[in-house]
Chains A and B, each alone.
Chain A
Amino acid sequence: MSVASDQLIDRLTSELGTDSVITDRATLEAHAVDGLVPRAVCSPGDAAQVAAAIRVCGEAGAAIAPRGGGTAVALGNVPHRVDVVLRTDRLAALVEHDDANLTATMEAGMTLAHLQTHLAQRGQLLPLDPPRPDRATIGGIVAASTNGARRMFYGGVRDLVIGMKMVLPGGEQVKAGGKVVKNVAGYDMCKLFVGSLGTLGIITEVTCKMTPLPERALTIIARDGGSTAEGSGAFRLIDALFASTLQPSAIAVLSPRAGELVRAGGPGVATAVAVEGFTEAVDRHVRDITGMAAAAGLSAEVLEGPAHERLWAAVADFPRSREGEALVRLTVPPGAVATAVDALSRVDDSPVYVAHAGAGTIWIGVEAARAATVFAALTSVAGAQHGHAVLASAPPEVKRGLDVWGSPPPALSIMREIKQRFDPQQLLNPGRFVAFL
């Protein structure tokens, strides 16, 4: 079984240096995963040190919880064990921004906000919208596959990542993909690692496709003032949008209470439609969408500049974990969002939700005490629409009684086989993934 803590820490220290292995109580507690306090927190300075740390943990049989900015630490089942938290905070450099190729390569621990600042100076952006971009790291966003409302237009994490470097549980440093936007050489190993939640390897570097900064960006926000049944006006507008040839970049439907949370103001259900691009194309969208809103019985307002940015920052931030609350992610086909939202109100009197209507993802805030019941009910709602529900965040005592990922996927045996072949010692986030893999 595992060697004594002292020995493990000594060996990590000899590989990484004293400053990179932290064992004081306060730090350890701040890095707990679902209440499990690690024995050490280490911050390797490069991929070779990540490999060294993994090897040391492997020899000691110590379980590792990889960690970026910690913004998705609540995602997943309660791990079986957490011995070492391996942070990527010292892997934070921009490796290369090939702006003429519209790609950039970042070390995994770089925060999204830091990357966006750099890209903006060169007129580009990475169109991902996780909660807390000031803390969320590229590696973490990729490992957790954190998608936002703009996915409908720009694609999701799996579509934007074109290359990666990772360290496998045996310490092997491998790469996947590359820096070209089209590449079919060998298996698409990036897909395997996107959303694998640190259970197959530790991502140390990521290459993504960028997009030009839009010339103009704004929001049309349409409100029903509480006059219609739950969101019916909102979904008339969305149906009209889908039937048209318009190309909004994001659509978010905010329940009245979520609207307060994201400061979208006004009573009733609000529908926010983001439009980005050339000025004349944006203007056209404003004209058409304002007309569609009126036809749907909604009052529309245009938000620009800071108001537009604040709204979408708050929408992106909605699915962050909050003390004493749980969060459910419901994924349904885009055309079934209205039905799912309607069903929500039968599960909860006054639901708090933000629906990314174009992508089919609905985030629902739930009181922790009711989380298990609501999650079970929402799992049925999702199932009825051929979708799925994930309990994306909840206190550990709630999580212990269930599988937060829902019922096991049909291909579980292959997933188990993959996990076994990559991580036979169960070193990486053991128990945290689907079916407690």
Chain B
Amino acid sequence: MQELRRIVGDAHVLVEDADVIVYEQDGSILQAMPEIVVLPADVTQVSEVIRAARRAGFPIVPRGSGTGLAGGAVPAGGGVVVSLARLNRLLGVDYRNRTAELEPGVINLEVTKGVAKAGFFYAPDPSSQAACSIGGNLANNSGGPHTLAYGVTTNHALGVEVVLHDGSIVWLGGTVPDVPGYDLCGVFVGSEGTLGIVTRAIVRLMRAREDVRTLLAIFDSMDSATQAVVDITAAGIVPAALEMMDKTTIEAVERGAPAGYPRDAEAVLLLEVEGVREYTERALRMAHEVCTRAGARQVRAARDEQERQALWKGRKGAFGALGTLAPNYYVMDGVVPRSKLPQTMRAVAEIAEQYQVRIANVFHAGDGNLHPNILFDIRVPGALDRVIEAGAAILRACVAVGGSLTGEHGIGLEKRDYMEWLFSKDDLEAMTRVRLAFDPQRAFNPGKIFPTPVSCGEVRRAPARIPEGLWI
């Protein structure tokens, strides 16, 4: 402790319960109290903190903004939580080469805000982008609604500077792709803080598109809505975003933050295309036809930016509005091949019935990335357990059709015991080799990702306090 204080200064080492309680939880329902929270200011301090923590035998739990939804930043085994919030400088922007160099604590949305005037944007846009950090995005390989056309975080990360378990500082990747050797930047992104701590990153910027068009299609059945998604993909349209909301979500939106969605509709589909004007006009026309053919009751295209914002308003307000239906909700993050969307949505509906839970679906349909939100009231005894069982059943259904446990939220603590549904012992053993090559003592974020027979006695469950204004 004294050493940590010497490294970062008294003010940046927290140990009192009242101080560290803020760091006991992320956006998931899992909680565990950290022993110590440290807030280093630069890479040298991060390195020294890690050395000191390891000398004392403490595990290290890296933390960005704490918006993660799988318990990845929850210190399940105690130890030192290293917050990267103070490493928050945008170090440089190179428009000619379309890259930005930044520290991990930079907030995602700040990147695009910083480069928008010059006609650029940073593509990965997790719905928590107003609060989540680039370091957290790198750790979780975060996605977002617009990653359908542009790819997730790993497709935009060229290089990362990381601090390893022994405090050494090393670059993985670089300022250009194809750096000779194994693609360790690619391996590191999405490793959920189990391999080291990012202290600097070089990410790609994209040129803003000439035109954006948005349409909203209203369906009388979930089946025709999901069929429209399959048909849009098959027709060769690659939308920038393709989002879906079901009847329960529509009800919540119209109660909470009305967006003019018809309350009797079974599903609404929000589609956005970006590119040169000639492309967007044609793609929008085609999407309109596909939706109509699939049985859309009505298709509305935004005529201007104001109408576009109005169409998005419901989607962005959806998660917040769920509070009008139930005090708590549990966000799932399954993903399936897009061809299996219709049958998977039917399976989700059956699971809701079987487990007697209410589910609001709002998700990235174009990627096949489901977000079934299971609504509940934590004060009802046994409710949370039933919700977790229903969630597990949904993920099993995703895996059964060739899908995955998580599209963008990560495994963390929440789903580590489900990993064996997807991976064999040998598959996991191969991952472990990578883990140990970076971190032979499992100093970083122990108990995450990998299934573990030992249950963490210190982990508690409680609903997350998702800050105002965030959407998922």
Task: Say yes or no: A331 contacts B419, CB within 8 Å.
Answer: no
Q: Across the interface, which residues of B come within 8 angstroms of A405, CB to CB?
A: 180-181
Nearest CB of chain A from residue B454's CB, rounded to whole Å: 19
Q: A431 within 8 Å of B by Cβ?
A: no
Query: Nearest A residue to B192 by beta-carbon distance?
Result: A184
**Which of chain A's residues have a CB closer than 8 A to the CB of B434?**
187, 189, 192, 418, 421
Is B184 on the interface with A (CB-CB < 8 A)?
Answer: yes
Closest to B395 in A: A185
B411 within 8 A of A: yes
Q: Given A185-B405, A192-B183 in contact, is the A336-B97 Cβ separation under 8 Å? A: yes
Complex contact B176–A388 (CB within 8 A)? yes
Q: Is there contact, CB below 8 Å, between B238 and A278?
A: no
Residue ID in chain B nearest A419 by CB atoms: B182
Residue on B nearest A192 in the bound complex, by CB = B187
Assess whether B155 is in contact with A333, with CB atoms less than 8 Å apart.
no
Q: Which residues on B sit within 8 Å (CB–CB) of A359?
A: 177
Is B180 touching A409 in the complex (CB atoms < 8 A)? yes
Residues on B with C-beta less than 8 A from A156 are 177-178
Tell me which of A180, A409, A418 has the highest count of chain B C-beta atoms within 10 A of its own C-beta: A180
A-B interface pairs (CB < 8 A), number: 246
* A315 touches B (CB below 8 Å): no
B383 lies within 8 A of chain A by Cβ: no
Q: Which residue of B lies closest to A278 (CB)?
A: B282
Say yes or no: B180 contacts A388, CB within 8 Å: yes
Q: What per-residue 1/0 map shows which CB atoms of A298-330 lie under 8 Å from chain B?
A: 000000000000000000000000000000000
Given A159-B151, A184-B407, A194-B183: A421 in contact with B238 (beta carbons within 8 A):
no
Q: In the complex, what distance in Å separates the CA atom of A184 from the CA atom of B124?
A: 14
Contact B182 A179 (CB under 8 A): no
B443 vs chain A, min Cβ distance (A): 15
Please judge, given known A-B contacts A277-B279, A278-B283, whether A180 and B335 are in contact too, CB under 8 Å. yes
A277 to B276 alpha-carbon distance, docked (Å): 11
Q: Do B141 and A188 have beta carbons less than 8 Å apart?
A: yes
Determine if A291 is an interface residue (Cβ-Cβ < 8 Å).
no
Q: Which residues of A contact B119 (CB under 8 A)?
A: 245
Most chain A CB atoms below 10 A, which of B98, B190, B209, B430? B430
Check A260 for interface membership: any CB of B closer than 8 A.
no
User: By the criterion CB–CB under 8 Å, are B402 and A185 in contact?
Assistant: no
**Binary interface encoding of chain A residues 123-161 relative to chain B, with 1 for a CB under 8 A from any of its CBs, else 0:** 100000000000000000000010100000001101100
Q: Which residues of B contact A100 (CB under 8 A)?
A: 230, 233-234, 338-339
Of the candidate stretches B167-175, B252-260, B305-313, the one touching chain A is B167-175
For A194, list chain B residues within 8 Å (CB).
Answer: 183, 186
Cβ of A45 within 8 Å of any chain B Cβ, yes or no, is no
**Are A433 and B181 in contact, CB atoms less than 8 angstroms apart?**
yes
| B430–A412 touching, CB < 8 Å | no
What residue in chain A is nearest B140 (Cβ atoms)? A184
When the two chains form their complex, are residues B97 and A333 in contact, meaning their CB atoms are under 8 A apart? yes
Q: CB of A196 within 8 A of chain B? A: yes
The residue in chain A whose Cβ has the minimal distance to the Cβ of B191 is A187
B98 with A334: CB separation less than 8 A: yes
Does A387 lie within 8 Å of B176, measured CB to CB?
Answer: yes
How many of chain B's residues have a CB under 8 angstroms from any CB in A?
90
- The yes or no answer to B301 lying at the interface (CB within 8 A) is no
Query: Are A334 and B180 CB-contacts (below 8 A) given A98-B339, A181-B367, A189-B430?
Result: no
State the CA gap A335–B151 with chains docked (Å): 22
Given A182-B369, A284-B276 in contact, is the A191-B335 Cβ separation under 8 Å?
Answer: no
Q: What are the residues of chain B within 8 A of A178 when measuring CB–CB?
A: 402-404, 422
A406, B180: Cα distance in complex, Å: 8
A residues near B426, Cβ cutoff 8 Å: 168, 172-174
The smallest beta-carbon distance between B422 and chain A, in angstroms, is 6
For B405, the chain A residues whose CB sits under 8 A away are 185
CB proximity of B281 to chain A, nearest CB, Å: 8
B152–A186 touching, CB < 8 Å = no
Minimum CB distance partner of A199 in chain B: B182
CB B451 to nearest CB in A, in angstroms, measures 10
A180 contacts B337, CB within 8 Å?
yes
Interface centre among B119, B336, B339 (most CB of A within 10 A): B339
Q: Are A188 and B94 in contact (CB under 8 A)?
A: no
**Cβ-based interface call for A273 (8 A):** no
A342 interface hit (Cβ, 8 Å): no
* 8 Å CB interface, B101-131 against A: 119
A192 B182 Cβ-Cβ under 8 A? yes
Whether A421 contacts B154 in the complex (CB less than 8 A), given A187-B191, A245-B207, comes out as: no
Counting CB contacts under 8 A, is A415 at the interface? yes
Q: Are A418 and B182 in contact (CB under 8 A)?
A: yes
Could you tell me the distance between the alpha carbons of A414 and B191 in the complex, rounded to whole angstroms? Answer: 15
B181 touches A158 (CB 8 A): no
Residue from A155, A158, A281 within 8 A of B275 (CB atoms): A281
For the complex, is B25 an interface residue (Cβ under 8 Å from A)? no
Q: Are A281 and B278 in contact (CB under 8 A)?
A: yes
B402 partner residues in chain A, CB cutoff 8 A: 178-180
Q: Are A414's CB and B184's CB within 8 A?
A: yes
Does B380 interact with chain A (Cβ within 8 Å)? no
A414 to B335, alpha carbons, bound, how many Å? 32
- B382: A residues at CB distance < 8 A: none
Establish whether residues B176 and A182, one from each chain, have CB atoms under 8 Å apart when the complex forms.
Answer: no
Question: In angstroms, how far is the closest chain B Cβ from the Cβ of A155?
Answer: 6
User: Are the CB atoms of A191 and B408 closer together than 8 Å?
Assistant: no
Q: Among B186, B209, B404, point to the contact of A191 (Cβ < 8 A).
A: B186
**Complex Cα distance A331/B178, Å?**
8
B91 adjacent to chain A (CB < 8 Å): no
Q: A174-B427, A245-B276, A411-B184 are in contact. List 9 more A-B contacts (CB 8 A).
A: A101-B368, A156-B178, A158-B183, A158-B186, A159-B155, A189-B430, A215-B236, A278-B278, A435-B181
A-B contact pairs, 26 of them (CB 8 A): A98-B339, A147-B178, A168-B426, A172-B430, A175-B427, A180-B368, A182-B408, A185-B419, A186-B423, A187-B434, A212-B238, A247-B275, A278-B278, A280-B279, A281-B275, A284-B278, A334-B97, A335-B96, A360-B176, A388-B180, A405-B181, A412-B181, A418-B437, A422-B433, A434-B180, A435-B181
- A-B pairs, 10 with minimum CB distance: A191-B186, A212-B236, A335-B96, A333-B97, A100-B339, A245-B210, A417-B437, A405-B180, A281-B279, A101-B337
